[in-house]
Structure 1
Amino acid sequence: MSTPHTITATPFILFFLFLFTSLINANDEVSFTFQSFSLRNITLIGDSYLRNGVVGLTKALDVPTSTSGSVIYNHPITFYDPLTNTTSSFSTTFTFSITNLNPSSFGDGLAFFLSQTNTTTTATTNRLGLPNNHFLALEFDTRQDPNFNDPNENHLGFDIDTLNSVQTVNPILHHGIDLKSGNTITCWIDYKSDQNTLLVFLSYATSPKPFDPVLSLNIDLQQHLKEVMYVGFSASTQGSTELHQIHSWSFKTIGFVPARPKRLHPHNVSDNSVSTVTVGDVNGSSSIKNRHSKRLGISVSVAGPAFFFVLFVILGYFSVKKWRGVKRGKSFKNEFVACPREFAYKELKSATREFHPSRIIGHGSFGTVYKAFFISSGTIAAVKRSKHSHEGKTEFLSELSIIAGLRHKNLVQLQGWCVEKGELLLVYDFMPNGSLDKMLYKEHERGKLLNWPNRFNIAVGLASVLVYLHQECEKRVIHRDIKTGNILLDGNFNPSIDEIVSDADEEFNTDQSMCEIKID
């Protein structure tokens, strides 16, 4: 006797989940093309310059003067998605030239790089102008340096965190390309994360893309491609007159496509999924099919209206819930108008990867602090998510209005706020060097010990902001919790006191000319 046929929605569900995920991840894909350059979307660092739409990375200085420079795309690019644990593929094409004005002198060459920071070591001229660490680079090396095991003075090399290349190749031997010829050269770099392959193609600008790559690597870059990174070029010389120029550049990510559901091989089916019919039982087979058709029709006629009824109920529930939330939010917003900007909850949710644990950078009396990347503007901020319910707390709103009115270079500035989904979110400037206590006591392995000028600057900054809070602001604020954990440091080690929040059980009297509130 054959088993009844059943209709399963699993393949359809998997398909729509795959399609939905792909559409979401497509928002993180980046693509740009510079046929010629302008200062709109790039940052020049060190000795780099822009002339007639071409970026020069090094200058023509007299021997033995050294020069170093870099150019970076302004906006950070997403390469890794912690939610799906997937890494983006990427492809870039650029044209460059290396001209040696003095044949007897040799520069270092140039490099295309991906880095976690948007700064490079322009003060150091023997590293191709690359960052000190945490970078990926394709170097076009024109100087043989035994310190980095260079094979010759005309090679390509792929570098990870160091100039000791993972693999090198001489383009003259394989493709007849002299990096120092002064001719314009086109380079194509293709990384496919699903295949763990990195291919580099090279040709003179007058020739098409070659069929064979000049450099081919089987390498998994997932542990090196961080969530967001900066892309750019750098170059340096050591007492030479070598000029390095970037003429055009295009870049794109092909991102975060999760593994497709595996299709069953047509012959790989289980016994339970096949109806068996005896060879001679043709009539029986026909009657079984008729019964199955009737059952299927009845099932569809019953399940169809039931499905739409459930769908209608769910939509109605969420519509009412959303209407109530909007109504509460509007009453909240009417009182909370002093802040610089109102953020959309969707924007903050996206910037923090749906408040993913990997984005947590701290905890405080107010709540959890998340690192937020705003891809559209290329900015980074700190988002504080309240752990308390603030509905009806007019004292709290009054206090936040005071915070929004405080302006001092040594106070972490409040960028904006959001009240949606029953939550209160505050957005602040991001301090890349963290808190002072970690810098002094816990994280010496960072290799960024504070020198005495930094310490003096921190002390002066703290004294200045305390004078402002105690004596100079319109509503004086008494700080009662100065400690190293509440002092944050920016990229240049300038101190800032964290945002002002009140204790949950503390009284707040707006009739007083002085506010005793706690800064944490």
Structure 2
Amino acid sequence: MPAMIAPSPSPRSHLFFTIPLFFLLCISPVSASKNVRFDFRSFTFRNVTLLGDSYLRNDAVGLTRDLSVPASSSGTVIYNSPIAFFDPLTNSSASFWTRFTFSVTNVNSGASFGDGLTFFLSPDNLTLGSPGGYLGLVNSSQLTKNRFVAVEFDTRLDDLFRDPNDNHVGLDVDSLISVKTADPVARGIDLKSGKLINTWVVYRSDEKIVNVYMSYSSFRPENPILSVDIDLSSYFKEFMYVGFSASTEGSTELHTIQDWTFETSGFSNANAPPRQPHNVSDNMVIPLIPMGNSGNGSHKKLGLGLGIAGPAFFFVVLSVFGWVSVRRCKKLTGELKDFSPEFLKGPKEFQYVELKTATRGFHSSRIVGHGSFGTVYKAVFAPSGATFAVKRSKHTHEGRTEFLAELSIIACLRHKNLVQLQGWCAEKGELLLVYEFMPNGSLDKVLYQESVEGTTLLKWPQRYNIAMGIASVLSYLHQECEQQVIHRDIKTSNIMLDGNLNPRLGDFGLARLMDHDKSPVSTLTAGTMGYLAPEYLQYGKATEKTDVFSFGVVLLEVACGRRPIQKEQDSQKMVNLVDWVWSLHSEDKIIEAADKRLNGEFSEDEMKKLLLIGLSCANPSCDDRLSMRRVLQILNNEASLPALSKSKPSLTFSCSLPLSIDEIVSDCEKSARASPVYEITIKTES
């Protein structure tokens, strides 16, 4: 800040005026607005929120349904955190630029296209519009309800919104009637080509202009496809959300976002202090008053007073910082005290310093894995040599929530096929869980690791034992605990193997507790693509049946030695494991799905049993899936396999079930906002 020297007050008044002034300047920033930047080369559930029909697949976002039959669909993906676009204290607006790569393809060659996608800014993080020409951005019954600034990439001519053609780019402000449009085909860009299109949207607040650039290459062209002179500051709210939307109506058009970079600028310049006089440091707040031979005694006294005020000021700041830290610590301690006394007397409370020492300062060389909760380190305690696995929280609100979830759940569970919790630590802003160490790592690493001779390291008896162990622990979680535990992230990388290759289920960061007689909880869809049940992707409702579906995929992996979604070497086509095994079953060739690396060294009856159980558990119809208790009985030869359709049941969609957005997205907030969601019905071909 510039030096501030009062004209004539006394030294004492200087002293008492300066301390509170310094204090306020320190703890109250000139502006809360900050520039933001993120760069997603791949997408996860941690950085974006999915609404409507949008989904994650192969680290990319699909915005509309991937169906081979024409359908109506709309979906939205939104960056999780609000972004500052306007600073009321300085009356300044942000500039921004974004780069993203998208593609518009059609499942059926020669079929009709429509309707398109948008990049948008909105004050609402629940923006989801109607299918068709509404581009998933506005509601057909309330055209003026949603507020937004958007760039549309429209692939259908719609007279209602005065579209110039069926292949255009436009700037939309609170309406789908564009402020201005442009034809990308004139620049050699076909929106419906199916190719990856690199796009840049740039807004300069000082020049009041929006430019949109598009290219098939990674280099931004010199000239924009669309340029609009417009002042967006009047449309900017203090905080807004950014995202993408898309829609179809009677078409099989697919809209995919591959990567996304976004950045705002302008606030740091608006808040930067002006240049100081030459005798005042840019880093100083305390005014420098000449103390030379001026003969002015009051100046000397004032300098002395400020010399005393400076240390006092820093003492106040230090006290405030300490007070805030203590409050945070007490808050976490209070949350931990909510757990039962049995828990607090059970697992050991470790000291942060001993965990840091055992992991060599959480060195990268000690990393043994990553979970939904955070990073896992190998910890070796001297001098005993005892080895543990330490899970370190990500420093986010989500990480804290998942820490408490995992701590409260797994501390109360006891089963031989669970990774056993040994202790915990909550110090220095760190959230840490300590588990027994699994020397053989995760199942996926062992299952897909080949020996020198090209054979598998997991023999058939070990595989069957793994299937039995996971079935047993899931039966325990679903039916035998006081409260039912829904894991929500069953996959081979979350199944650990001990020294004898016995399975241990871990990573409860996404788990949820619920009473056995309660309805399933609606949550934001979480988990890993390839393992997610279709109804979970559709409605976001986690139940024991969604765990059963994931378990079925794991069984097929164990039996076949193939990943849930795998690229064929010859055709480079992505093949779904469940579809592949079911196609063999329909031809009475299911035994051919067995892992070739086993070289036929397995029990054919057991192999066939495991494959059929896997298909039964991964049935698209949740009502037709087995319970984990029944699975365990079949594996133990205490029950017989139910009849299984030769053909995989197909999915069709209808608009008969209205669900609110909040039922799909959040299990906390309730509101009256509603939007049609599509019901899954099952057709079985015998």
Select which of 115, 119, 125 maps to 2:122.
115
Q: How does 1:239-388 map to 2 (within 5 A)?
A: 239-256=250-267, 257-258=269-270, 298-299=293-294, 305-306=300-301, 308-315=303-310, 318=313
Counterpart secondary structure, 1:66: strand
The answer to whether the 8 A contact 2:97-2:200 is kept is yes
CA–CA distance in structure 1, aligned partners of residues 85 and 125 of structure 2: 15
The 3 A distance-change label for structure 1 pair 9 and 142 is same
The answer to whether the 8 A contact 2:97-2:263 is kept is yes
The answer to whether the 8 A contact 1:200-1:216 is kept is yes
Residue aligning to 2:46: 40
Instruction: Tell me which moved more, 307-316 or 194-203.
Output: 307-316
Select which of 76, 93, 112 maps to 1:105.
112
The 3 A distance-change label for structure 1 pair 177 and 324 is closer
Q: How does 1:15-94 map to 2 (within 5 A)?
A: 28-94=34-100
TM-score computed with the length of structure 2 as normaliser = 0.39
Counterpart secondary structure, 1:315: helix
Equivalent residue letter for 2:307: F
CA–CA distance in structure 1, aligned partners of residues 243 and 319 of structure 2: 48
Equivalent residue letter for 2:175: T
CA–CA distance in structure 2, aligned partners of residues 297 and 152 of structure 1: 77
The answer to whether the 8 A contact 1:108-1:235 is kept is yes
CA–CA distance in structure 2, aligned partners of residues 323 and 49 of structure 1: 47
Residue aligning to 1:199: 211
Deviations 1:136-174 (A, max 9, x none): 11000011101001111111001111101111000111x
Q: How does 1:428-507 map to 2 (within 5 A)?
A: 491-493=670-672
Residue aligning to 2:235: 224
The answer to whether the 8 A contact 1:102-1:241 is kept is no
Instruction: Tell me which moved more, 185-194 or 305-314.
Output: 305-314
Gaps of 5+ in 1: 1-7, 12-18, 264-294, 342-375, 379-452, 455-488, 495-520
Equivalent residue letter for 2:148: F
The answer to whether the 8 A contact 1:45-1:122 is kept is no
The answer to whether the 8 A contact 1:67-1:238 is kept is yes
Q: How does 1:85-234 map to 2 (within 5 A)?
A: 85-100=91-106, 101-132=108-139, 133-173=146-186, 175-204=187-216, 206-234=217-245
CA–CA distance in structure 1, aligned partners of residues 225 and 64 of structure 2: 26
The 3 A distance-change label for structure 1 pair 338 and 193 is same
The 3 A distance-change label for structure 1 pair 66 and 30 is same
Q: Identity percentage over the alignment?
A: 46
Deviations 1:326-369 (A, max 9, x none): 9999999999999769xxxxxxxxxxxxxxxxxxxxxxxxxxxx
CA–CA distance in structure 2, aligned partners of residues 336 and 234 of structure 1: 39
CA–CA distance in structure 2, aligned partners of residues 124 and 84 of structure 1: 40
The 3 A distance-change label for structure 1 pair 329 and 109 is closer
Deviations 1:268-321 (A, max 9, x none): xxxxxxxxxxxxxxxxxxxxxxxxxxx996449978745532322433554677
Counterpart secondary structure, 1:211: coil
The answer to whether the 8 A contact 1:97-1:182 is kept is yes
CA–CA distance in structure 1, aligned partners of residues 179 and 153 of structure 2: 14
The 3 A distance-change label for structure 1 pair 303 and 490 is same
The answer to whether the 8 A contact 1:102-1:242 is kept is no
- How far 1:325 sits from its partner (Å)? 8.3
CA–CA distance in structure 2, aligned partners of residues 254 and 186 of structure 1: 22
Residue aligning to 2:409: none
Counterpart secondary structure, 2:46: coil
CA–CA distance in structure 1, aligned partners of residues 124 and 132 of structure 2: 19
The 3 A distance-change label for structure 1 pair 240 and 334 is closer
- How far 1:78 sits from its partner (Å)? 1.3
Whose RCO is larger (CA < 8 A, sep 6+)? Answer: 1
Deviations 1:101-153 (A, max 9, x none): 34341211110011111113355433111145111110000111010011111
The 3 A distance-change label for structure 1 pair 209 and 9 is same
User: CA-atom RMSD, angstroms?
Assistant: 4.5
Gaps of 5+ in 2: 6-24, 140-145, 276-289, 337-395, 399-658, 661-667, 674-686
Deviations 1:212-247 (A, max 9, x none): 111112211112111111111111011001111111
The answer to whether the 8 A contact 2:33-2:87 is kept is no
TM-score computed with the length of structure 1 as normaliser = 0.51
- How far 1:190 sits from its partner (Å)? 1.2
Number of aligned positions between the proteins:
309
